[in-house]
Amino acid sequence: MQPIEGSYVALITPFRNGRIDEGRLRRLVDFHIKNRTDGIVPCGTTGESPTLSHEEHKRVIRIVINQARGRIPVMAGTGSNSTDEALELTADAKKSGADSALLVCPYYNRPMQRGMYLHFGRIASRVKILIFIYNIPSRTGVNLEPETLAMLSRDFSNIAGVKEASGSVDQARRIIKLCGRNFCLLSGDDALTLPMMAVGGRGVISVLANIMPGEVSRMVRMFLTGDAGAAMKIHRRLLPLMKALFIETNPIPLKTAMMLMKMDSGEMRLPLSPMSAQNLVKLKKTLRQFDLLK
């Protein structure tokens, strides 16, 4: 299997009248294939996975895999704070044909490091699919320490990488040092993509790629092929847009931007709420600066 690297998109889940908009979802998959995104990640944070029923969750993954038809890798979001639920979702994703799975650290329970080791170890031992762990302490309340991740990567050969969203470049450096160069670290924060790649990361699972897939892919590819200067120019240019997409909780700004760009209905599920009028003005201004509003 080819190494996982590059720009993977943290795909939105489009809704219309409270239901999954299958037609829009299929068009988004084709959009990313056309624009040279390296992989698609359905049912993550940006995909509003906490508000999807289990059947909806499985269905979104199946639709993306079916539409991709092997033209682009699919890393299915299958994490849960229940080990049994995460195991069920991961097994179903593998059965549906996912190339890999992304499992968030258990949230709300706030397990100890030993508990997280046992959680991920049980899933990895029972479902033979490449597994990426999603470490995002700001949402889960726990930080998966590099030493724990190193034990997991050593003891379970299918635990292949991490989506690192702790906000710490030093932690990313420690992960790569302890886990080795064959372990794949992907940035979980658009604004930290290049800093994390500078210490050995292999790309990003990107929110921004939903609306600027070609630019994000080009930036990452340039860095991977040794043109760090050109990659940095793109990064600096895109930084205001990266920041604008996080002026409210993700994916509120992103879905609002996609609605304004006529790429989505903008519909979200509660408890996510419409963007405030003040922040909407800021978002529109930034989108116009990038010629994204017609």
Residue 294 binned pLDDT confidence (cut-offs 50, 70, 90): confident
Q: Which residues of 157-195 are buried (b: 16+ CB within 10 A; e: fewer)?
A: eebbbbbbbbebbebbbbbbebbeeebbbbbbbbbbbbe
Please say if the pLDDT value at position 260 is more than 60: yes
Residues 197-231 pLDDT 10s? 999 999 999 999 999 999 999 999 999 999 999 99
- The end-to-end CA distance of the chain, in Å, is 41
Q: What is the mean pLDDT of residues 57-72?
A: 98
Please say if the pLDDT value at position 68 is more than 70: yes
Are 250 and 46 contacting, i.e. CB atoms less than 8 angstroms apart?
yes
CA distance 276 to 273: 9
Residue 18 binned pLDDT confidence (cut-offs 50, 70, 90): very high
pLDDT computed for residue 230 by the predictor: 97
Residues 126-143 pLDDT 10s? 999 999 999 999 999 999
CATH of 6-227, one of 2.60.120.650, 3.20.20.70, 1.10.1200.10, 3.40.630.30: 3.20.20.70
Residues whose CB falls within 8 Å of the CB of residue 252, separated by 6 or more in sequence, listed in order: 268, 272, 273, 274, 275
Q: What is the mean pLDDT of residues 266-280?
A: 97
Q: Where are the domains of the chain?
A: 6-227
Please say if the pLDDT value at position 1 is more than 60: no
Please say if the pLDDT value at position 289 is more than 70: yes
Predicted TM-score (pTM) of the model is 0.96
Amino acid at 75: M
Active site positions, annotated: 134, 163
Residue 181 binned pLDDT confidence (cut-offs 50, 70, 90): confident
Residues whose CB falls within 8 Å of the CB of residue 203, separated by 6 or more in sequence, listed in order: 4, 5, 6, 7, 8, 38, 186, 187, 193, 197, 220, 224
65 is in an annotated binding site: no
20 has which bridge partners?
Answer: 15
In sequence order, which ranges of the chain are alpha helices (DSSP H)?
22-34, 54-68, 83-96, 113-126, 137-140, 146-155, 169-179, 193-198, 213-224, 228-244, 252-260, 277-289
DSSP state of 74: B
205 is in an annotated binding site: yes
The two tokens of residue 51 are: 């508000």
Amino acid at 26: R
CA distance 197 to 255: 27
Residue 2 binned pLDDT confidence (cut-offs 50, 70, 90): low
Q: What is the mean pLDDT of residues 61-67?
A: 98
Residues 22-56 pLDDT 10s? 999 999 999 999 999 999 999 999 999 999 999 99
Please say if the pLDDT value at position 122 is more than 90: yes
pLDDT computed for residue 199 by the predictor: 96
Residues 75-113 pLDDT 10s? 999 999 999 999 999 999 999 999 999 999 999 999 999
- As a whole number, the mean pLDDT across the chain is 97
In sequence order, which ranges of 113-188 are alpha helices (DSSP H)?
113-126, 137-140, 146-155, 169-179
